[in-house]
Chain A
Amino acid sequence: MRASSLYEPLLSEIARVEEETPDTRTYFLAADAIPWRGTYRPGQFVEVSAFGVGEAPFCLSQSPTRAAFIEVTIRRTGSVTNRLDTYGAGDLVGLRGPFGNGFPVERARGKDLIFVAGGIGLPPLRSLINYVLDRRSDYGDVKVFYGARSPADRVYKNELAEWRRSPDLSVVETVDRPDEGWDGPVGVVTALLKGLKVHPASTMAFTCGPPVMLEFVTAELLRLGLHPSNIVTTLERYMKCGVGKCGHCCVGHHYICVDGPVYNLDQIQRLPEAP
């Protein structure tokens, strides 16, 4: 093994890029050169390199059951994501991973599943939603609730339409600011959960979105009777190494990059420092 393999990325070619929203793109990375294609867990993440700028962590946004590409959906926010934004098909990025614990797919077996996402929070959940759809008989009822700032800010517009047509799940979307073509609900995603009929003992919820959304969504899920251990989210933290060495994502006793990033509410409530 070469000396720096832990920090030395695989080179991975961008096969194509999908523009999701004005500031968000999905990068489809050619999976044939990636030894762990198809074997990672939904909810794990990778460190993506733009050589010359640096490396940043992103969740794997596609299910490992769909192994044609390694997919990451990235919003232009900082120096690495801005450089990636200039990349297209044929460009090479660096890839390290997969890292982290991933979603508890085994514990979710046989349960009814609720997914609640806000904005760029859908990509990590999508890795699990498609996983569940590909093992449909292992899981109960599946409901997806997605809120975005505006219709244009929704990621995976085509896939959402497909999901909507599918008998395997129900999808309800809402936006804060509708446009002329929008005929769906308007307002925060939490409103969609009010009065929802669930079997609390056999339901698990997966949620991801901005901190303020998470606060209201978890409160609503608790009100529906879900146990905190059945409310699952994935935490965001500034990370460098991804392997529990560099200290950046250390929160209390947890190295979020190795012990997380997926936690249930029960665990999060015991973290000393709010994420």
Chain B
Amino acid sequence: MRVISDADLRGLAADLLAAGSTVWGPARVPGSPRPGVEYRPLREAAELDLGAGLPFLPLKQVFLPPTEPLFWWERKGTEVRLVPPAPPNRRVVVIGARPCDAAGADAMDRVMGWDYRDELWFARRDAATVVTVACERPADEACFCSDVGLGPSHPRGSDLLLIPHPGGYAVEEVTAKGRELVAAFPHRFREDEQVTPGETAAAGPPRIDLAGVQRWLADHFEDETWNEVALRCHGCGACASVCPACHCFDIVDEPDSLLAGTRRRNWDSCQTSRFTVHASGHNPREGQHARVRQRVVHKFQVFPRRFGRLLCTGCGRCTRACPAGQDLFEILTLVSERALETS
């Protein structure tokens, strides 16, 4: 099997940086109040830190930045001029994506590409090669990728999948883009017949009945469960901000002056009360129970039916980020149990 050593993976990052690519990878952030790593554009290969678990923010920031300009506008008299942002002109390689993050971007491709095509998203997707490192063990007890049809070495959304073994990684070429990366830097890879793909981290058996969950969600839109699970929710939207698959955004104008400004899109969350409020003040989604329900039903029933993917990859970030201790897997477990009771 094709393998890459620890040193060569770092070497690959260095080669790419030297060749002018933007390389994103998990790295410590100097001075950050948060422990652990974040996905960052690396300045040097030595910053790459693959041993520190799941970055706090998801990989989607590479393709949908937390805030990005849609265009700049400028007014001169009655004339208005619009200046669009430049398309990405550099190759982007992500080294050390986690499988849940790679799969999240794949789920977002569905909504970004249906009917209208979001060129800003796909320009970044097309320019990027995602090299994923499979997880040897769950980051912590909040992880539940194996319960949502994925797993610690699931290839979805990855171009190359690296499966750790002592001293390095077995290399699974998932897409043509992945093969091209290997072909471009052949000296970083070698063949090792001792290593077999069988050594991948094993996905555990699912702890919930996903089909049952989806069945229950489809016909329990009105249910006391939503009032129960919403009691904890503050409506802050932290869960969506750290989600690798939440695609909602707001579009806002930020004036620099009366004569110029920027229209931007920013990450948004359906958990805040203002997400659906009309200019008239009317809010068709009153009540936090309706907003928590929206999150769960959309991710596990609506989106999969429409786009063929769950809008959740089991990364557990929402659970880790929630200031009120809301636990998405706990909600799914509860729904799974209620599905059993009603089946």
Contacts and interface: CB of A to CB of B under 8 A. Distances in A.
Interface in B282-311: 282, 284-285, 290, 294, 297-298, 302, 305-306
Q: Which 7 A-B pairs have the closest CB atoms?
A: A78-B279, A247-B248, A243-B116, A272-B221, A52-B255, A3-B87, A77-B279
Interface string B199-236: 00000000000000000000001000000000000000
A33 B120 CA distance: 25
A51 B70 contact: no
Interface stretch (B142-150, B156-164, B260-268): B260-268
A126 B250 CA distance: 31
Contacts of B290: 273
Interface of A: 1-9, 11, 49, 51-56, 77-81, 90-92, 94, 211, 236-238, 240-241, 243-248, 250-253, 258, 272-275
A55 B71 CA distance: 13
Contacts of B120: 3-4, 6-7
A3 B118 contact: no
Contacts of A247: 247-249, 268, 270
B341 interface: no
Nearest to A252: B302
Contact of B80 (A3, A5, A92, A248): A92
A56 B277 CA distance: 13
B284 A1 contact: no
A189 B71 CA distance: 45
Given A80-B279, A248-B248, A273-B285, 8 more contacts: A1-B119, A8-B71, A8-B84, A237-B276, A241-B251, A250-B302, A272-B221, A273-B290
Interface of B: 70-71, 73, 75, 78-80, 82, 84-87, 111-112, 114-120, 123, 221, 247-253, 255, 258, 261, 263, 265, 268, 270, 275-280, 282, 284-285, 290, 294, 297-298, 302, 305-306
B277 A238 contact: yes
Contacts of B305: 253
Contacts of B85: 3-4
B276 A92 contact: no
A7 B262 CA distance: 12
Contact of B258 (A1, A52, A91, A245): A52
A180 B228 CA distance: 56
B110 to A, nearest CB: 11
Contacts of A91: 78
Which of A49, A79, A258 has the most chain B CB within a 10 Å cutoff? Answer: A49
B256 to A, nearest CB: 9
Contacts of A237: 276, 278, 284
B84 A238 contact: no
A81 B280 CA distance: 11
B115 to A, nearest CB: 6
Nearest to B278: A238
A55 B251 contact: yes
A246 B80 contact: no
Central interface residue in A8, A52, A252, by most chain B CB within 10 Å:
A52
